[in-house]
Structure 1
Amino acid sequence: MPKDTILFERNRVTIKEKSPQSETRATPLDEITGTITVIENDRGKFFRFVPLGLEDVMTDDWALINGGHSIVCDKNDGDSVATSSSPLLKFRFHFNLNDLRSVRRHHMVHGIAHMVFILKDGTTLPAFYFNHGGSKELLQKLAQYLPLEKSTQDTRLYIVKDDLQRENSSQSISAFDQLNLFDNSNDIMKRFQGNDSRRTAIERFSRVTNFLKDTFLGQNELISTTENSDRKFECDATALMESFNGDFRESNNDGFEVIYKVDFKKLPDVARGQPLTVKEWQMSFDKDGRIIDVKKLKERIFRGGLVSNVLRRDVWKFLLNYYPWSSTRDDRIELAKQRKSEYHTMKVQWKSINEQQKQKNNLFRDRGSLIEKDVTRTDRTHEYFQGENNVHVKVLYDILMTYNMYNFDLGYVQGMNDLLSPILVIMDDEVDAFWCFVGLMSRMEQNFHMDQLHIKSQLSNLHTLLQFIDAELAKYLVENNANNMYFFFRWMLICFKREFSFDDVMYLWEVIWTDHICRNFELLICLAILISQKTVIMESKFGCTEILKFFNDLSCNLDLDTCLLSAEKLYIQLATHRDIPTSIAKILGLPTGPNQQYLSTVENATYPRKIYTEQPRGTMNLDNSYFRQESEPSLVPVQHETTEAALNDFLQ
């Protein structure tokens, strides 16, 4: 092993990591303390972070995380693989300084400075907190060996400048490997024959099931393949990319170009509220058990969520249409009896199917096998599903099988297990969980249709909104083959289930389910996060693969309240826009008539709004500094005849 020379060392550095499956926000691994060193040997200069207790654990340069275990591989001996059950191993980091793309240093006058490192492949390391100082010294040390340049857009961001050109064509193919839509711990050790990157990308992509393939290809489209004498397949990935990209077309006005002059005014203070309490909930009913003010109640939930899982057990039944909002206490008692009977009737139907009948029904048999496979690995680190022969895993299976009978045309599609899991945790009752899941699927069923028209449309809507809000970033994504927005695919498919902690997911879902301020609020959450990372993405010169990896690494490293605040500010910017295009208004459910007025939340002001039938070329440019401001755009359209239109008129 090469002899290491220590160039920099600082101990008592901590990582604050939030587990996606933890039921509570404070877990034993929330803070990991260790030592940062910068070392040099004959292979180069390297950054290392070693948690306390792992100083004597011998590993080489990298580790693959497989479920709850760490598979540590020695690069000098590809066949040498050791397995350790230490959960701290995944917090041991080691990278070559030449792989660093950017570093962000947050320094407060009264507070603990922290640094975030982003690698050239888009990998984002967790924030390192320097409890006893040293972040400035580390930055100075890095500047001795790397061409660091401070960002002009964000003074906390330092970019490593280099002249390497990205290969966008290869990135668009290898990006499929980064989707990680559904976990399969066995796949990580699989070997693939052949070196063709296109074939490998498609094969790995197809492991997510035919459902995901149809997302990008369409149900009746095929990827042509040829087979050579070595029985290695060469797949035409171009068809895959063209099929998906073909659904994203930009619309422009013919003859006139709309230019906006942005005039920022004072925005109202947008703040999150306290969670709805049990007492408030109890006082929301009249003497017959009917909710008095549904709109006010939804607004309270939107602002602060619900105070406890016990309260969620009651409120979610309304949010998910188990109970109508207008129902009385007696109505709900009768409805619960009726739905319990209906559920058990459907459950008996599939339970009574014998093995001989299963063999004659391939679709039913295959769905049952897929459900059984998926539930055994659904949130198994959550205490509700932990342990061998867990009864709740069996209930999860029974509910999904019953839903397969209830909605046999749709059946079961991978990802539904992720949506059901939090509902079962809250309800802790098989019948109630089933009917709440039915309510959720009534909102999200289109995400799982085989033609995938809805989810394609939602990703297209994301890009349409981005074109209007931030044309510069939208153009950058186009230039880097990322305008299909499929780095948000998992977020949209299972509604951020993998992006936040278990508690935060439940809070986020109940906020979205209120449908309080607009339609498709989840799109604005995606855009708020995307725009907040604009400087890092563009100045780091991320391509398609790096962007996808970068957003995957944001999982469980996002502050939910900040995301919700930023999304609401985006909505206010759009809703108070005087000249909003029809396409934007329809996405958010805003008035689309030419003489409609929108009642703004800003001092009850009303704005006459011109509605364009085509997407204007002018945009609102909101960089990440926007989210630190309190300002409102008033956009005044000015029409100029384009050169092409003027020339056509002249020639006629």
Structure 2
Amino acid sequence: MFNSTSGNNKKRVPDWLNSSLWSSSPPPPPASPSPKSSPNDVVADRGVKSTPVTSAKSSVQEAEESKYEPPAPAPPKVAVTAPPAVVVRAEAPKVEAQDPLGSQGRYYSSKEDGARSNVDAVADTASEASAAVKVSSPVSAARPASSAAEDISRQAQLLQELSRKVINMGELRRLASQGIPDGAGIRATVWKLLLGYLPCDRSLWSSELAKKRSQYEHFKEELLMNPSEITRRLEKSSLKNDELDGEDKGFLSRSEITHDEHPLSLGKTSIWNQFFQDTEVIEQIDRDVNRTHPDMNFFSGDSSFAKSNQDSLRNILIVFAKLNPGIRYVQGMNEILAPLFYIFRSDPNEENAVSAEADTFFCFVELLSGFRDHFCQQLDNSVVGIRSTITRLSLLLKEHDEELWRHLEMTTKVNPQFYAFRWITLLLTQEFNFADSLFIWDTLLSDPEGLQETLLRICCAMLIIIRRRLLAGDFTANLKLLQHYPPTNISHLLYVANKLRTHPAG
């Protein structure tokens, strides 16, 4: 696809980058957001994150380079009525060039360390659907009228699909890949279907949910109980048995503490020894949960609601760590867990919202199953490890934009591990604001090619759409730019990522 231009080694711009779709005029700016805010304080607008690129074309070379990157949509004028939930870093952060796979800390976060079952009720009237889209979420509160109209139409189509006796997953994926409108609890139900938590047959939803939720409660009783309570129950059970055996003997029995039940036991089967071994992991979970989205009242603050949500995150991560001793807990898992729990806990169906912790646990397990090897340090250098995945991203960039690839990796020596490690392991949750992350996850979860393939295309698109800034930068400038990705129009980003699939190089 890339042909050499006369006089230099630059690759010709692919034809699809010059298409009318790519260079179409930006959408009209959205209206001012409604003063009515969300109870969860998630203030974000995909349009707000647009960054226009304007530069004078003074030479043929500049005109040629400009073809790679179309003009981004102009930023809309949004009247800010409340402090945004996602705080934008105002100061230039320090560039860190250490290997994220090294001994200084394997996983890090950019913050500190490094179904709805009764969809028929929602679909009663079109007016209810329209109102839900307009006022239920700040994501849609400040969007263009045309975009809001598209959301209403897509919501009606999704509701129609969810009301079928047997869900057509192909059609559901197609609709969800375009972005799931906020409101009416649609995203919660769709994500549960896309992650395989809910079966396609709606008649099985009730029994399946009851079974899974009961199973999770059993996990909690078994894995979250303090050893003192376990010992007390064992002693109580032993006393009852002794009383029955000694009714005719005329003496009182004395409870005995076995070796494995003693707090100082070092035995492998000792509940106390296991408890002390888990303490370090639990302390790390507590630290990470406490700093999960500190700018959102849903996760942070002194309210009982926020504390309850933190407790749920903590329970899920502890249960997961104990059920998966080969992985246990790895720093950053809390960032992947947060979007799932937020969506399920915000379901307007009260029964589903109350059971959000159980539903989130099983969906979290299913989500991690697709790339759990990235969290296993022993597999870093294997074909399924994180290094191999980062190499695939590098090759994908080379395939579609060899000039940019050569500048980053050969000229400026920017190791992709320095930025792509976090992008991939945390599913882009730290590169964009919370609301935009949900929009990206709609595409990640719905793509039939799988989450990892879609994620790599999006990461490659992230590089391509800022190629001019990268080509003009040196090592320090590029590393800072990639470790702190600039505000971007998400619809535009996903469009480019999709083009990388439909227009392969060659």
Q: Higher strand fraction: Structure 1 or Structure 2? A: 1
Number of equivalenced pairs: 340
- 1:464 correspondence with 2:383: no
C-alpha separation in 2, matches of 1:298 and 1:562: 19
- Shift in Å, 1:25: 1.9
* 1:338 aligned residue: 211
Cα deviation for residue 386 of structure 1 reads 2.7
Q: What residue in structure 1 maps to residue 288 of structure 2?
A: 374
How far apart are the structure 2 equivalents of 1:558 and 1:152? 25
What is the CA deviation profile of residues 402-428 of structure 1, one whole-angstrom value per residue up to 9, with x for unaligned ones? 112232322111111001111111111
2:373 is aligned, of 437, 442, 446, to: 446
Instruction: Return the offset for 1:483.
Output: 4.6
Shift of 1:517: 5.8
How far, CA to CA, are the matches of 1:494 and 1:211 in structure 2? 9
Residue of 403, 412, 419 corresponding to 1:480 = 412
In the alignment, which residue of structure 1 is the partner of 2:502? 572
Whole-angstrom distance in 1 between the partners of 2:99 and 2:159? 54
Give a deviation string over 1:432-471, Cα, whole Å, max 9, x none: 1212212211223222112234221111101111222222
1:404 equivalent in alignment to 2:321: yes
- The question of whether the paired residues in 2 share the 8 Å contact of 1:350 and 1:405 is answered with yes
8 Å contact 2:431–2:484 — kept in the other structure? no
CA deviation string 1:484-503 (max 9, x = no partner): 45322111111110112211
Worse-superposed segment, 411-420 or 461-470: 461-470
Aligned-pair identity in percent equals: 23
Q: Distance in 1 between matches of 2:174 and 2:212?
A: 29
CA contact (8 A) 1:302 1:510 kept: yes
**Offset at residue 539 of structure 1 (A):** 2.5
Aligned match of 1:329? 202
Instruction: Find the aligned partners of 1:559 and 1:474 in 2 and give their Cα distance.
Output: 23
SS at match of 2:414: coil
Aligned partner of 2:54 among 99, 106, 121? 106
The equivalent position to 1:24 in structure 2, one of 43, 46, 55, is: 43
Unaligned runs of 5+ in 2: 1-31, 33-39, 67-92, 109-148, 229-262, 264-270, 346-355
Q: How does 1:214-233 map to 2 (within 5 A)?
A: none
Question: Does structure 2 conserve the Cα–Cα contact (< 8 Å) formed by 1:487 and 1:547?
Answer: no
Partners of 1:503 and 1:469 in 2: how far apart? Answer: 29
Aligned match for 1:347, one of 220, 233, 255:
220
Q: Is the 8 A contact 1:528 1:563 kept in 2?
A: yes
2:460 to 524, 527, 537: 527
Query: Higher relative contact order by CA 8 Å / sep ≥ 6: 1 or 2?
Result: 2
Judging changes above 3 Å, is the alpha-carbon distance between structure 1 residues 150 and 204 closer, same or farther for their aligned structure 2 residues?
farther
Work out whether 1:559 is the aligned partner of 2:489. yes
1:153 is paired with a residue whose SS is helix
SS in 2 for 1:499: coil
Distance, in Å, in 1 between the alignment partners of 2:359 and 2:365 is: 10
Q: Distance in 2 between matches of 1:104 and 1:283?
A: 38
Q: Distance in 2 between matches of 1:397 and 1:380?
A: 15
* Cα displacement (A) at 1:538: 1.9
Task: Report if aligned partners of 1:275, 1:304 keep a CA contact under 8 Å in 2.
Answer: no
Q: Judging changes above 3 Å, is the alpha-carbon distance between structure 1 residues 423 and 417 closer, same or farther for their aligned structure 2 residues?
A: same
Give the C-alpha shift of residue 316 in structure 1.
1.2
How far apart, in 2, do the equivalents of 1:211 and 1:562 lie?
29
Measured after TM superposition, the shift of residue 391 of structure 1 is 1.6
Match of 1:283 in 2: 160
In structure 2, relative to structure 1, the CA distance for the partners of 1:410 and 1:360 (3 Å cut) is: closer
Deviations 1:234-291 (A, max 9, x none): xxxxxxxxxxxxxxxxxxxxxxxxxxxxxxxxxxxxxx9647755323322576x311
Q: Distance in 1 between matches of 2:391 and 2:185?
A: 38
Q: Distance in 2 between matches of 1:154 and 1:539?
A: 15
Find the counterpart in structure 1 of residue 309 from structure 2.
Answer: 392
Does residue 153 (structure 1) correspond to residue 62 (structure 2)? The answer is yes
- The alpha-carbon deviation at position 338 of structure 1 amounts to 0.9
Contact 1:419 1:497 in 2 (8 A): yes
Shift of 1:506: 0.9
Equivalent residue in structure 2 for 1:312, among 187, 195, 200: 187
1:322 and 1:23 map into 2 onto residues whose CA distance is 26
Partner of 1:550: 481
1:348 aligns to what SS in structure 2? helix
Q: CA deviation at 1:207?
A: 4.8
State how far apart, in whole Å, the 2-side matches of 1:367 and 1:151 are: 58
Q: Which residue of 2 aligns with 1:538?
A: 471
Inter-CA distance 455–22: structure 2 relative to 1 (3 Å threshold) = farther
Aligned to 1:233: none
Report the Cα offset of residue 566 of structure 1.
Answer: 0.8
Cα displacement (A) at 1:362: 4.8
CA drift at 1:364: 1.7
Counterpart code for 1:418: E
* Alpha-carbon separation, structure 2, partners of 1:282 and 1:203: 43
Name the CA shift for 1:468/1:202 in 2 (closer, same or farther; >3 Å).
Answer: closer
How far did 1:401 drift?
1.0
**Structure 1 SS opposite 2:371:** helix
Q: Taking structure 1 as reference, are residues 362 and 564 closer, same or farther at Cα in structure 2, changes over 3 Å only? A: same
In structure 2, how many angstroms separate the alpha carbons of the residues matched to 1:464 and 1:156?
A: 21
After TM superposition, the structure 1 = structure 2 runs for residues 231-250 of structure 1, keeping only pairs within 5 Å, are none
Measured at CA, do residues 487 and 334 of structure 1 come closer, stay the same or move farther in structure 2, by a change above 3 Å?
Answer: same
Match of 1:364 among 271, 278, 281: 278
Structure 1 pair 533–339 and aligned structure 2 pair: CA distance change class (3 A) = same
CA distance in 2, matches of 1:152, 1:363: 62
Comparing 376-385 with 353-362, which one deviates more in the overlay?
A: 353-362
Query: What does 1:393-432 correspond to in 2, within 5 Å?
Result: 393-428=310-345, 429-432=356-359
1:301 corresponds, among 176, 189, 192, to: 176
| Amino acid of the structure 1 residue aligned with 2:183 | S
Give the secondary-structure state (helix, strand or coil) at the position aligned to 1:344.
helix
The question of whether the paired residues in 1 share the 8 Å contact of 2:180 and 2:186 is answered with: no
Distance 1:315 1:151 in 2: 49
Task: Give, in angstroms, the shift of residue 106 of structure 1.
Answer: 2.5
Question: What is the distance in 2 between the residues matched to 1:572 and 1:420?
Answer: 31
Contact persistence 1:346–1:402 (CA under 8 A)? yes
The one-letter code matched in structure 1 to 2:166 is R
Structure 1 residues 473-521: Cα deviation after superposition (integer angstroms, max 9, x where no partner): 2222223222545322111111110112211111111211112367601
Aligned partner of 1:502 among 409, 416, 434 = 434
Structure 2 Cα separation of the partners of residues 311 and 152 of structure 1? 48
TM-score for the superposition, normalised by structure 2: 0.59
Higher helix proportion: 2
Q: Aligned partners of 1:413 and 1:205: how far apart in 2?
A: 15
Unaligned runs of 5+ in 1: 1-15, 32-102, 108-135, 137-148, 158-187, 190-196, 213-271, 575-619, 621-634, 636-652
Runs of 4+ that moved beyond 6 A: 202-205
